[in-house]
Structure 1
């Protein structure tokens, strides 16, 4: 064998041995995924942590997006609710709960009945039975007659002072004058029913004995924007629970009147008693 050939063979052998050793080294150093009960591989754990952090960031962004959408939806819902029908849970009582309109205390008991409904609402109480309502109407009228000399008619101001405060002990109300339709709606939207004095003849209620009472009082408890109607509890009829009046018709009928026994109208303007709990 020539020396040159021998040298070439030696070089090939050395190169092959080195390559095999390097391959074995690479295989030995290749990271293995961790298995249950084993020691986690550092590289694998690091990648898992990176993925987890990415997921958390994504989740945070998603939650924020959902919250942001919820706020927008909430605003839209509020707007829709403002356009939906509103009716407060005011218990209903009639001023003549057993239909005895011949009794002047019941015939003129609209202020007493309206104040009674307002106080029931403010105290979160249900309407009593008709006999109990009658007893209360009579008791209020007798109280007024003994202390003030009359039970027939009371203005908005005197209804507040003589019945709400003096009889029921309820002071959470205000009497407002010179308001408009939107003022009534705003009070209702705030959750406040209102008591109004009115010319009952202008209400055109088919359940009244014609032509209707010249001096009347009732509660406005809600509003229907679709039909432009106020929802009332009208004590002047046993059909008065949730009775509806067109907003213009009712507003035009609102008129305060003097305290007394069917006193002559003195041109009093509009008034309403706003009730609070």
Structure 2
């Protein structure tokens, strides 16, 4: 009996010893996989997400341009009551910005509103720039930002592709032009020397614009190459901005030639800016 008891005790000890040698290494291997491999994967995933967020920009990304864009921008001419005297004959910049303001703020626009708004912004310009007749794009940008409360930037890229890209993002493009290069038959001939249009869309090789210089200007179509070739800001000559209206002693042909030396650039209007109401003229 003692012999049997000894044998039983021996085999029990042997079994317990073997169980202890096999179970513990398995636990260690599992713990290593849990503690090292799995957390590394989770950390990598979080870093990738964080990096993705950093790469996101405010401007919408357009991978492929739609075949047609035509933003619904309300229209009224720069001479809403068919009065082409001052200030209206020189109010294309103002009328273009008024349309952009109304579009992004979803505000009403008609002839009466355009008339009132032109007079108000002309008063503001006169107080801030001491002029309103011919404003350079840099000054138009200031108006857009400080007076109209719009988010804008000047772009030196006036290629057809870039303008289409901006429109596909839902932005408007306000373009200063050597107006006579547009060849619009609805202008009082020979047409304006310096003129602004609101580019609101495109289809194929054409741009769709609101041209405030004619009552037939709503959704007017210009060939894309004609419009982009006409885009010119006011030239800077001998350190001074060339303002055609003020150069009364110059022949129109000379003014036109000087306009063609102005840098090609446009104003991209993205959305509402920091301001949410039109400034008072005295602000």
**Which residue does the alignment assign to 1:248?**
225
CA distance in structure 1 between the aligned counterparts of 2:145 and 2:69, rounded to whole angstroms? 28
Query: CA offset at residue 169 of structure 1?
Result: 2.7
**Which residue does the alignment assign to 1:116?**
98
CA distance in structure 2 between the aligned counterparts of 1:123 and 1:178, rounded to whole angstroms? 26
Instruction: Check whether the contact 1:90–1:118 (CA below 8 A) recurs between aligned residues.
Output: yes
Query: CA offset at residue 135 of structure 1?
Result: 1.1
Deviations 1:46-96 (Å, cap 9, x if unpaired)? xxxxxxxxxxxxxxxxxxxxxxxxxxxxxxxx97x722x210111112110
CA distance in structure 2 between the aligned counterparts of 1:165 and 1:257, rounded to whole angstroms? 20
- 1:1-277 alignment, distance < 5 Å: 82-83=66-67, 85-102=68-85, 104-127=86-109, 129-161=110-142, 163-170=143-150, 172-225=151-204, 228-258=205-235, 260=243, 262=245, 265=258, 267-277=261-271
CA distance in structure 1 between the aligned counterparts of 2:157 and 2:206, rounded to whole angstroms? 21
CA distance in structure 1 between the aligned counterparts of 2:70 and 2:87, rounded to whole angstroms? 29
Unaligned 5+ runs, structure 2: 1-62, 236-240, 248-254, 272-283
Query: CA offset at residue 136 of structure 1?
Result: 0.7
Query: CA offset at residue 261 of structure 1?
Result: 5.6
TM-score by length of 1: 0.65
CA distance in structure 2 between the aligned counterparts of 1:133 and 1:139, rounded to whole angstroms? 10
Query: CA offset at residue 155 of structure 1?
Result: 1.3
Instruction: Check whether the contact 2:173–2:267 (CA below 8 A) recurs between aligned residues.
Output: yes
Query: CA offset at residue 245 of structure 1?
Result: 0.3
Instruction: Check whether the contact 2:145–2:152 (CA below 8 A) recurs between aligned residues.
Output: no
Over 6 Å off, 4+ runs: none
For the residue of structure 2 that corresponds to 1:231, the secondary structure is strand
For the residue of structure 1 that corresponds to 2:87, the secondary structure is helix
Unaligned 5+ runs, structure 1: 1-77
Instruction: Check whether the contact 1:223–1:231 (CA below 8 A) recurs between aligned residues.
Output: yes
CA distance in structure 2 between the aligned counterparts of 1:223 and 1:179, rounded to whole angstroms? 14
CA distance in structure 2 between the aligned counterparts of 1:169 and 1:180, rounded to whole angstroms? 27
**Which residue does the alignment assign to 2:27?**
none
CA distance in structure 1 between the aligned counterparts of 2:262 and 2:119, rounded to whole angstroms? 28
Instruction: Check whether the contact 2:182–2:226 (CA below 8 A) recurs between aligned residues.
Output: yes
Query: CA offset at residue 179 of structure 1?
Result: 3.2
